[in-house]
Chains A and B, each alone.
Chain A
Amino acid sequence: MKGLHIHGVSHAYGNNKVLNNVSLTIPTGELVCLLGPSGCGKSTLLRLAAGLETLQCGTIVIDDQTVATKESSLAPEHRHIGLMFQDYALFPHLDIVANVCFGLIGMARDKARARALEMLDQVGMADYAKVYPHTLSGGQQQRIALARALAPEPKLLLLDEPFSGLDTNMRQMIREDTLNVLKQNGVATLMVTHDPEEAMFMADRIKILGRHGRVRQSGSPHDIYYKPNDEFVAGLFGLMNRLGGVVRDGAVETPLGRVGAGGIADGTAVQVLIRPEGIVLSGGNTGSNPGIPVSVSSTHLLGHSSIVSVSPDGNSGDEYFARVHREFSPELEDTIFASIEASDTFVFPLKEDTASAAPIGMAAE
């Protein structure tokens, strides 16, 4: 199979075990994101694939060629890999076209130049061929870095947090453009990020790495978001309301209403996680079952949405966060009701190691 095939990779730096039996498959033309907290071994896996770190355990295969096992290793320059990191690492004393030509060793000069210009055109930087890197913005430099990585037509592209140095608007734009260029070039891509939204946006498939470099879940962005395997994965996507309860008659009674237990046995102690967007607020005159009456203690406008803190009436000790995607003026409503959206609500058996209540919004592993 063309693409990347990693099986059974574990890695330790001294006594520090950072990867634990990681396997992954990326067919040519697809993009897989490794997502996980700082220090879980994401960059280490990339460095192993690139041949910049010696493989201790497992196999790495690129386009049907075994490039690394415990016993043998193909030198990085023979792996046909394109690399792109957060710091763009362009050569300051070379102009842009020379920077892009740099990886085209062995190609006739005219051909290399033509190829470089073609790539610059693809990333929308053809007009900048003659300028020097320091005159470009961070986003432009990243476009050049992408052109340089793709110019030699690598079999595999490795991206390590390539956009993390850019501001929000620039990031969104360059993500989109990068994705277009990658799809056009049909290369297998492994990208590291610790930004869940970025992974959702870019990836055909997401691999979640947890602490000690263990794969917690792999699936499409939709799977990961709507069918998280556990509270660790669910908690990656930001603020979560965490409630406790016990399953009775197939459901959990919470202060905000009943939640289906999704097949977890009666009597099991569970943790209920509700995304802020899963708590729906209404003014009460909508439909016959508006939900539980609540009072609002604060609202914070975030731009696209507001985060609203609510407590069930008569129970001001419990506070929950709801996300509202439109103008919301609680001061103009007589009564506000909260109800729960099933698709943003997750129920997991309470495990021993998560029993100690994690603060709201913090992902406990």
Chain B
Amino acid sequence: MVDLSSSFETECEIIDRDHRRLVEMVNAIVAAIDGDHATECATRVPKFVKFAKQHFVREEAFLADIGYPETQKHHDHHRALDGKMATILGLAAKAADNQLAREALKKDLVFFLMDDVINADLDFKPFIKVRKT
């Protein structure tokens, strides 16, 4: 189980709310796998990926709105995650009847979410903070 402990918060409520939802979705997928309901991956994981992509769009719009100088770079970072999302979808399709795919899916999801998505967003936290004050 992962959680959005304070060190991972951007302290921008509209972003953190999306992140919390992403965390919930990943935890639900991990719980489904651990609870022998891996068949649910076939629907849950595509929903997660879809929500992540929508979140990227919302976040980029927000960063552009507030004039974050590295919006383009962050956009490029999101785009560079396409390959990983494709891998995750591929693993989810196999998860129901393949133990190795289930294990790889859990790992890839957690690292994707906590390292590639949420940790990377802390790059813009100082900018939001300065703007708030």
Contact = CB atoms under 8 A, between A and B. Distances in A.
Contact of B7 (A30, A59, A218): A59
Contact of A23 (B3, B111, B122): B122
Contact of A24 (B2, B4, B6, B119): B119
A66 B116 contact: no
A103 B8 CA distance: 31
Contacts, number: 59
Contacts of A218: 111, 115-116
A7 interface: yes
A28 B120 CA distance: 19
Interface string A63-96: 0101000000000000000000000000000000
A198 interface: no
Interface in A209-235: 218-220, 222-223, 227, 229
B107 interface: yes
Interface string B1-24: 011111110000000000000000
Contact of A205 (B7, B111, B120): B111
A30 B4 CA distance: 18
Given A204-B107, A220-B104, A24 B115 contact: yes
Interface string B83-108: 11001000000000000000010011
Interface residues of B, number: 23
B83 A227 contact: yes
Contacts of B122: 7-8, 23
Contacts of A223: 83-84, 87
Contacts of B83: 223, 227
A21 B7 CA distance: 16
B115 A1 contact: no
Binding site of B, secondary structure by majority: helix, strand, loop or mixed? helix
Interface string B111-133: 10011100110110000000000
* A interface bracket (residues with beta carbon within 8 Å of B): 20 to 34
Given A59-B7, A204-B107, A223-B84, A1 B120 contact: no
A218 B104 CA distance: 15
A220 B116 CA distance: 12
A27 B2 contact: yes
B110 interface: yes
A220 B108 contact: yes
A5 B8 contact: yes
B23 to A, nearest CB: 9
Q: Which of B8, B104, B111 has the most CB of A within 10 A?
A: B111
A25 interface: yes
Contacts of A25: 111, 114-115, 119
Nearest to A6: B119
Nearest to A66: B7
A183 to B, nearest CB: 12
Contacts of B6: 64
A61 interface: yes
Interface string A1-22: 1000101100000000000010
A59 B5 CA distance: 14
Given A30-B107, A61-B7, A204-B107, A5 B87 contact: no
B107 A5 contact: no
Contacts of B116: 218
Interface of B: 2-8, 80, 83-84, 87, 104, 107-108, 110-111, 114-116, 119-120, 122-123
Minimum-distance CB pairs A-B, first 8: A25-B115, A61-B7, A25-B114, A64-B5, A7-B122, A23-B119, A1-B2, A205-B111
Interface of A: 1, 5, 7-8, 21, 23-25, 27, 30, 59, 61, 64, 66, 204-205, 218-220, 222-223, 227, 229
29 contacts: A1-B2, A1-B3, A1-B4, A1-B8, A1-B114, A5-B7, A5-B119, A7-B7, A7-B122, A23-B120, A25-B111, A27-B2, A27-B114, A30-B107, A30-B110, A59-B7, A61-B5, A61-B7, A64-B5, A64-B7, A66-B7, A204-B111, A205-B111, A218-B116, A220-B104, A220-B107, A222-B87, A223-B84, A223-B87
Given A5-B119, A24-B115, A218-B115, 12 more contacts: A1-B4, A1-B114, A25-B119, A27-B114, A61-B7, A64-B7, A66-B7, A204-B107, A204-B111, A220-B104, A220-B108, A229-B80
